[in-house]
Structure 1
Amino acid sequence: MITPTPLMRLVAGVWGFKTLAVGVELGLFTRLAGGRTMTVEQAAAEFGLPDRPADLLLAASASLGLLEKSGDSYRNTELAEQFLVEGRPYYFGAQVRYSDLRTYLPWHRIGEALRTDRPLTWDPESQQSMFDTADPAMLAQFWDAMFSTSSFTASALADAYDFSAHRRLLDVGGGAGAFPIEFCRRLPELRATVLDLPHVCVRARERIAEARLTGRIEAVGGDFLADPALPDGHDVILLSMILHDWDEPTNRELLARCHAALPPGGAIVVCELLLNDERTGPPEAALMGMNMLVETEGGRNYSGAEYTAWLTDAGFVDVHTVPFDAPGANGAVVARRA
Structure 2
Amino acid sequence: MAENLLEWLALKANLAPVPLVHTQVYFVFSRAILSAFNLEIFETMKRGPQTLHTIATTAGLDQRALRSLLEVLVAAGYLRYHDERYSLTRLSRKWCLKDSASGVAPQQEFNRIAWQWMDHLDVFLKTGASVRFHESFGPVEWKLYMEGMECLARSFSKTAVAMAPDLSGASAMLDVGGAHGIYAAAFCEKYPSLKATILDLPEAVETGSLILKKYYNGNRIVYRKGDATRDDFGEQCYDLVFVANVIHHLSDAETKELAAKARKALRVGGYLIIHEYLAPEGQGHAEITAATLNLFFGLTSASGCRTEAEIRKLCESGELKFLKSSRFIGTNGYAQMVFSRQTTARIAGTRDSGPTTSSVSIQR
TM range (shorter): 0.7 to 0.9
> 2:299: which partner in 1?
294
- What do the CA deviations read for 1:270-328 (whole angstroms, capped 9, x no partner)? 111111211542333322222223322x2211011111222323632243211113669
Give structure 2 stretches of 5+ with no counterpart: 1-11, 343-364
2:130 counterpart SS class: coil
Question: Hey, what's the Cα distance between the residues in 2 that align with 1:56 and 1:201?
Answer: 41
> 1:17: which partner in 2?
30
Q: CA deviation at 1:151?
A: 1.7
Distance 1:27 1:187, change over 3 A: farther
Q: CA deviation at 1:232?
A: 5.2
2:53 counterpart SS class: helix
Which stretch shows the higher mean deviation, 268-277 or 58-67? 58-67
Question: Hey, what's the Cα distance between the residues in 2 that align with 1:328 and 1:209?
Answer: 31
1:333 counterpart SS class: strand
Alignment of 1:175 with 2:179, yes or no, is yes
Question: Hey, what's the Cα distance between the residues in 1 that align with 2:83 and 2:64?
Answer: 18
2:148 counterpart SS class: helix
> 1:31: which partner in 2?
44
Q: CA deviation at 1:22?
A: 0.6
> 2:94: which partner in 1?
82
Which stretch shows the higher mean deviation, 2-11 or 48-57? 2-11
Which letter maps to 1:110?
A: L
Which letter maps to 1:31?
A: T
Question: Hey, what's the Cα distance between the residues in 2 that align with 1:274 and 1:32?
Answer: 37
Alignment of 1:282 with 2:287, yes or no, is yes
8 Å CA contact retained: 2:44, 2:58: no
- Residue from 247, 253, 258 that aligns with 2:262: 258
Distance 1:309 1:17, change over 3 A: same
2:269 counterpart SS class: coil
> 2:253: which partner in 1?
249
1:210 counterpart SS class: coil
Q: What's the % identity of the aligned pairs?
A: 18
Alignment of 1:93 with 2:96, yes or no, is no
Q: CA deviation at 1:64?
A: 1.8
- Residue from 117, 131, 134 that aligns with 2:128: 117
8 Å CA contact retained: 1:37, 1:73: yes
Question: Hey, what's the Cα distance between the residues in 1 that align with 2:200 and 2:246?
Answer: 11
Question: Hey, what's the Cα distance between the residues in 2 that align with 1:229 and 1:239?
Answer: 13
Q: CA deviation at 1:214?
A: 3.8
Question: Hey, what's the Cα distance between the residues in 2 that align with 1:260 and 1:121?
Answer: 28
8 Å CA contact retained: 1:272, 1:328: no
> 1:126: which partner in 2?
none
Q: TM-score, normalised by structure 2?
A: 0.81
Question: Hey, what's the Cα distance between the residues in 1 that align with 2:332 and 2:287?
Answer: 13
Question: Hey, what's the Cα distance between the residues in 2 that align with 1:163 and 1:66?
Answer: 40
- What do the CA deviations read for 1:64-95 (whole angstroms, capped 9, x no partner)? 22222333222222222122211333331111
Alignment of 1:145 with 2:158, yes or no, is no
Alignment of 1:49 with 2:61, yes or no, is yes
Which stretch shows the higher mean deviation, 106-115 or 325-334? 325-334
1:266 counterpart SS class: strand
Question: Hey, what's the Cα distance between the residues in 2 that align with 1:32 and 1:88?
Answer: 14
Distance 1:220 1:331, change over 3 A: same
Give structure 1 stretches of 5+ with no counterpart: 123-129
Q: TM-score, normalised by structure 1?
A: 0.87
Which stretch shows the higher mean deviation, 190-199 or 247-256? 190-199
Q: CA deviation at 1:111?
A: 0.9
Question: Hey, what's the Cα distance between the residues in 1 that align with 2:256 and 2:243?
Answer: 13
Which stretch shows the higher mean deviation, 302-311 or 241-250? 302-311
- Residue from 164, 188, 192 that aligns with 1:161: 164
Question: Hey, what's the Cα distance between the residues in 2 that align with 1:7 and 1:314?
Answer: 49
8 Å CA contact retained: 2:173, 2:197: yes
Which letter maps to 1:28?
A: I
Q: CA deviation at 1:242?
A: 0.3
8 Å CA contact retained: 2:290, 2:332: no
1:272 counterpart SS class: strand
1:193 counterpart SS class: strand
